[in-house]
Amino acid sequence: MGTAERPPLAGPSAEVGVLRLARGEKPVEKRDRVAGEEPLEIRVGGPGEAFTQVAVTMRTPGADFELAAGFLLTEGLVADNHEIADIRYCEDVEDASQQYNVLSVRLRKPFDAAGLQRNMFASSSCGVCGKASIDMIEVACRVIPEGPVVSFETLLELPETLRAKQRQFDRTGGIHATGLFTPDGKLVELREDIGRHNAMDKAIGARLMHGETPLNGYVALVSGRAGFELVQKAAVAGIPILAAVGAPSSIAVDAAKRLGVTLVGFLRDDRCNVYAHTERIDVGQA
C-alpha cells in the first residue's frame, strides 16, 4: 500500500539548551533532549478527486503513514486497508520546509467530504464528545466478540513490558505510548507520540497496513489516562480490552460499557480497577 515512507525533516526528539536549577547547588547550563512535535496535515481524496484536508494534528514525527491510516480507521473514514490505495508526502506544498508535514491519502472509493465534517464535529480526537457522539460510534462499530479472556497476572506484567520498550520516553521523559499485546502478554506493536491519541492511531495503523482488522484479538495498553477518545478508537478498531496506567474519565467508562470494551484503569503497583465488561478478566487468585 502506498509509497515507502521517507524520513521526516524533524526527528522524534531534539536537543536543546537548558539551565538546570537545584536547591543548594549552583545553576548548570547543559544540553537536554525533548520530545519532537510538528504539525501533520492529512489530506484525503477518492479516485480522480481533489484532496480535501481532513485533519491537522500535532504529533511526534515518525510512523506518519501509520498515523494517517490509523486515524482514518478510528474516525470511521475507512473500513480496512483495502480502501486505501496510496499514502505519500505532498511534494506541491508552498513551503518546502513543510513537505514532510503534509500527507495525501488516495482512497479506492469516492470520499464524502460533507460526511467528514459531521463526523469530525461529533467525534474529534480533541475530545469534543457527548451522548450523541457515542450513539454515532455505536452505530459505526463492528460488534466486538465476547473474548478474549486475559488473566489478572498477565495484565500486571504489561506496564513493565511496555515501559522497557519506550525508547523515546527514555530519551525525553515526555512522550506517550500505546502497546498492542496478545492475550498471553506478548507485545506485538508499540508506538510513541507526544499525543496519546496519535500513539494509539500509529499502533492501530501499523496493524491496518499489515491487513489486520478488526483487532479483536488484542489488548491495548496506554501509558497515560484513559479518555473518551481512546475508548472510541479502541472500539472502532475492534480492540476488546483497553488498559491504562492512569485514570479513566466518566464518559470513557460510559462509552466502554455501551461499546463493549473492557476498560482497565490504574494498572500499576500490582493492582488495577476494571470499570466495564469485567467478564474478559480472569481474576484467578486476585
- Is 5 strand, coil or helix? coil
In this prediction, residue 125 carries a pLDDT of 42
Residue 119 lies in a domain: yes
Domain end call among 108, 140, 172: 140
Whether 130 and 154 map to the same domain: the answer is no
Query: Domain containing 262 — which CATH number?
Result: 3.40.140.10
Q: What is the model's pLDDT at position 134?
A: 52
- The reported pLDDT for the residue numbered 131 is 45
Domain boundary (76, 110, 140) is at 140
Given this model, what pLDDT does residue 115 score? 62
User: Do 183 and 110 have their domain in common?
Assistant: no
The CATH code of the domain that includes 122 is 3.10.20.10
Last residue of a domain, one of 140, 164, 179: 140
| Contact between residue 51 and residue 102 where contact means Cβ atoms under 8 Å apart | no
**Burial label, 230 (beta-carbon count in 10 A; 0-12, 13-18, 19+):** buried
For 229-246, what is each residue's pLDDT tens digit?
899 999 999 999 999 999
Residue numbers in the chain where pLDDT is lower than 70:
1-10, 97, 115-140, 285-286
Q: Is residue 214 domain-resident? A: yes
* Per-residue confidence (pLDDT) for residue 95, from 0 to 100: 72
* 154 and 132 within one domain: no
Residue 1 inside a domain? The answer is no
0.85 exceeded by pTM: yes
Please tell me whether residues 129 and 56 are part of one structural domain.
yes
Beta strand pairing call for 38-45 and 52-59: antiparallel
Instruction: Please check whether residues 164 and 262 belong to one and the same domain.
Output: yes
The confidence score (pLDDT) of residue 140 equals 65
Structural domain count of the chain: 2
In the prediction, which pLDDT does 141 show?
Answer: 74
3 within domain boundaries:
no
Based on the fold, state whether residues 128 and 161 are members of the same structural domain.
Answer: no
Q: Is residue 99 part of a domain?
A: yes
Q: Centre a 10 Å sphere on the Cβ of residue 29 and count the other Cβ atoms it contains.
A: 8
CA distances from 257 to 47, 76, 200, 280 (A): 38, 20, 20, 13
- Do 154 and 251 share a domain, yes or no? yes
Q: Which domain holds residue 252?
A: 150-282
Q: Is 203 within the bounds of a domain?
A: yes
Predicted confidence at residue 155, as pLDDT, reads 96
The three cell numbers of residue 113 are: 467530504
Separation of first and last alpha carbons in the chain: 45
pLDDT score for 138: 59
User: Is there a single domain that holds both residue 278 and residue 155?
Assistant: yes
Residues 186 and 274 placed together within one structural domain of the fold: yes
One domain for residues 103 and 171? no
Q: Which residues contact 260 (CB under 8 A, 6 or more apart)?
A: 141, 143, 144, 235, 240, 277
Query: How many angstroms separate the Cα of 222 from the Cα of each of 14, 17, 175?
Result: 24, 30, 11
- Say whether both 114 and 219 belong to one domain: no
| Per-residue pLDDT, 172 | 76
Task: Please check whether residue 145 lies inside any domain of the structure.
Answer: no
- Say if 8 falls within a structural domain: no
Q: Which positions are annotated as active-site residues?
A: 126
* Measured distance CA(94)–CA(85) in Å, rounded: 25
Residues 101 and 215 in one domain: no
Among 101, 75, 80, 70, which residue's Cα sits nearest to residue 206? Answer: 70
Question: What pLDDT score was predicted for residue 126?
Answer: 44
